[in-house]
Amino acid sequence: MATVPVLLYSVVAVAPSALFWCALKVPVVVRRWRRRREPEPPAGPPIEKLAADLRRVHRLLAELPPGASAVRRHGTRQAYDALLVQACREVEVDHRLDKLPEGFDRGIERLRVEESLAERGVSVS
């Protein structure tokens, strides 16, 4: 019989602390849960703008005059590759554009990436 008053005293002594702790922690847990359920905002520009930029730079690259400087040609290709990499990241396409040196292999990889993007609805040309 002596255990009932001791148990009741323990509950009365611990309850305020437990309630105060819950009052502090429950809003934090609810906030984290809501944040986890919200979709993440996109990291880059909208895919429509990215596709428009890709088409514009692709057109610039195709229309470079034969006498264009090597620096201009190289810079335009780098800009195009950077846009391709960004588009690949957005639509989850694997690529090796940043690993391959400039040359034939990188040109083939560009064509493969353009085709993969087109299959996912991002038209480059």
pLDDT in tens, 26-82: 888 888 888 887 777 767 788 899 999 999 999 999 999 989 999 999 999 999 999
Q: Does a structural domain hold residue 125?
A: no
* CB-based contact 54:122 (threshold 8 Å): yes
Look over the chain and give the mean of its residue pLDDT values, rounded to a whole number: 88
Which of 65, 51, 60, 52 is closest to 78 using CA atoms?
A: 60
What pTM did the predictor assign? 0.66
Residue range(s) defining the domain that contains residue 26: 1-38
Percent of the chain whose pLDDT exceeds 70: 98
24 and 59, same domain (yes or no)? no
Percent of the chain whose pLDDT exceeds 90: 49
113 and 56, same domain (yes or no)? yes
51 and 28, same domain (yes or no)? no
70 and 115, same domain (yes or no)? yes
At 99, which amino acid appears?
K
61 and 31, same domain (yes or no)? no
